[in-house]
């Protein structure tokens, strides 16, 4: 027990001296803590800094967030990625407002019933916002514990048991943050700064010389690739068509240029993963067919450079095809008004577009500028 007390004391003293001054550490009300934890899931703190305070200005409490539309929430989250987090946070706010009278439940077990709240988030919120003795094991803490234990592939239950044993009951929130901070700044995946570590004398991996190998890297998994023919219709005013994605699934409820999935790479003739294996005519035909399904006709006018985007489970490649349409073409859609909108590609910031779709919009805007420049040149320019 003396070693455990020494570990806690050394770690917290280091944290008190060196902690980074993130805005979510100054006001630990439950709402603000939960917002920060949702934003920090799978995202670097340096990235979250640009979103946290603007979000709180737009949605300062449970009521403001619960009363907002999905479109407003996704727009405020735009660029932060993993949009399911935004939808889950939105749903959680409505539950807290309607079921719990605007007070976030204190119990980690009850917190885990809320959308998007797992064991780690429940522990982090419970300890930081409510001072509960609940461990919080994220990726950084997993690495710190694996090295402390000199464990190659420690199980989740073993890590949780060790985190619970070490947790300081007097300052559980600070302790959990200190462990995360240690992993993020000192006990890093590569080139850990063991000489600066406040708990180095407790580290079994350092004694055994195995720090670089703890924890053992997870075996790489093959991430499939999917190609999309993406129709980019343009009317005479340079406006394009955006359609809303379904309310469930990948990028739910967000806007995109009309697209259709092409034949998977493994099923293409000669598709071994080296090249795209796509015929230009197939992409263009698929894009025009997708527009026809929406009631839009036009002529192929050009191709934009492919846009690649990596999701956690998928490598997506979008192949944009520009289609020139008549004045009325984008008005006669086989979609409800709320599912489609005409948009100026130079002004897409007011729409909740995923990153890949923003890139397509930027390329379309550049393509239109080039077309205008060519059209205005004299015969001898």
Unique residue bearing structure tokens 């004391």:
9
Q: Are 258 and 231 in contact (CB under 8 A)?
A: yes
Q: CB under 8 Å to 102, separation ≥6 — which residues?
A: 61, 62, 63, 96
205's tokens: 């991996």
pLDDT value at residue 381: 33
Q: CB under 8 Å to 343, separation ≥6 — which residues?
A: 239, 240, 241, 242, 351
Count H helices and E strands in the chain, helices first.
14, 8
Rg over CA atoms, the chain? 25
Distances (CA, A) of 212 to 172, 202, 310: 29, 16, 28
pLDDT value at residue 312: 86
pTM: 0.85
From CA 245, how far away is CA 335, in angstroms rounded?
A: 12
pLDDT value at residue 144: 98
From CA 46, how far away is CA 21, in angstroms rounded?
A: 11
From CA 336, how far away is CA 44, in angstroms rounded?
A: 38
pLDDT value at residue 14: 98
pLDDT value at residue 371: 80
Strand 315-324, strand 307-310: pairing = antiparallel
Query: Which residues are designated catalytic?
Result: 37
- Cα-Cα-Cα-Cα dihedral sign, residues 155, 126, 98, 53: negative
The DSSP call for residue 221 is -
pLDDT value at residue 278: 64
pLDDT digits 0-9 by tens, 33-86: 999 999 999 899 999 999 999 999 999 999 999 999 999 999 999 999 899 999
Q: Are 120 and 111 in contact (CB under 8 A)?
A: no
Please list the pLDDT of the chain residue by residue as tens digits (381 residues).
Answer: 778 999 999 999 999 999 999 999 999 999 999 999 999 998 999 999 999 999 999 999 999 999 999 999 999 999 998 999 999 999 999 999 999 999 999 999 999 999 999 999 999 999 999 999 999 999 999 999 999 999 999 999 999 999 999 999 999 999 999 999 999 999 999 999 999 999 999 999 999 999 999 999 888 888 999 999 999 999 998 999 999 998 888 898 899 999 999 975 545 554 444 445 567 779 999 999 999 999 898 999 999 999 999 988 899 999 999 999 987 777 766 667 678 888 898 888 888 899 999 999 999 999 998 886 544 433 323
From CA 208, how far away is CA 362, in angstroms rounded?
A: 53
pLDDT value at residue 73: 96
Distances (CA, A) of 224 to 9, 188, 218, 286, 318: 47, 29, 18, 21, 14
From CA 223, how far away is CA 160, in angstroms rounded?
A: 29
Unique residue bearing structure tokens 């259709």:
260
Residue 331, phi then psi, degrees to nearest 5? -90, -20
Unique residue bearing structure tokens 């982090």:
124
Q: Are 343 and 244 in contact (CB under 8 A)?
A: no
């Amino acid at each position: 027990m003396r070693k455990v007390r020494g570990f806690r004391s050394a770690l917290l003293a280091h944290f008190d001296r060196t902690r980074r001054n993130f805005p979510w550490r100054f006001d630990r009300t439950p709402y603000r803590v939960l917002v920060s934890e949702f934003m920090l899931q799978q995202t670097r703190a340096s990235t979250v800094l640009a979103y946290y305070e603007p979000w709180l200005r737009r949605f300062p409490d449970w009521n403001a967030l619960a009363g907002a539309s999905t479109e407003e929430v996704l727009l405020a989250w735009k660029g932060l990625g993993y949009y399911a987090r935004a939808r889950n946070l939105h749903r959680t706010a409505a539950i807290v407002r309607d079921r719990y009278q605007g007070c976030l439940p204190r119990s980690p077990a009850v917190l885990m019933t809320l959308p998007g709240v797992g064991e780690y988030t429940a522990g982090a919120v419970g300890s930081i916002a409510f001072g509960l003795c609940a461990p919080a094991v994220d990726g950084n803490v997993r690495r710190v514990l694996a090295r402390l234990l000199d464990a190659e592939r420690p199980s989740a239950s073993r890590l949780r048991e060790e985190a619970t044993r070490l947790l300081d009951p007097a300052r559980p929130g600070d302790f959990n943050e200190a462990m995360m901070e240690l992993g993020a700044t000192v006990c890093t995946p590569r080139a850990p700064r063991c000489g600066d570590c406040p708990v180095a004398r407790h580290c079994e991996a350092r004694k055994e010389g195995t720090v670089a190998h703890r924890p053992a890297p997870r075996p790489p998994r093959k991430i499939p690739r999917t190609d999309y023919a993406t129709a980019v219709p343009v009317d005479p005013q340079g406006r394009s068509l955006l359609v809303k994605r379904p309310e469930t699934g990948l990028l739910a409820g967000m806007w995109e240029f009309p697209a259709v999935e092409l034949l998977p790479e493994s099923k293409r003739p000669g598709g071994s993963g080296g090249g795209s294996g796509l015929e230009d005519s197939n992409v263009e035909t698929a894009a025009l067919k997708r527009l026809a399904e929406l009631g839009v006709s036009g002529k192929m006018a050009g191709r934009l450079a492919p846009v690649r985007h990596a999701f956690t489970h998928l490598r997506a490649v979008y192949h944009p095809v520009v289609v020139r349409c008549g004045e009325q073409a984008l008005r006669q859609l086989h979609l409800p008004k709320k599912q489609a909108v005409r948009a100026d590609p130079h002004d897409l910031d007011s729409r909740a577009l995923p990153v890949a779709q923003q890139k397509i919009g930027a390329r379309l805007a550049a393509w239109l500028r080039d077309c205008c420049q060519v059209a205005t040149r004299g015969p001898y320019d």
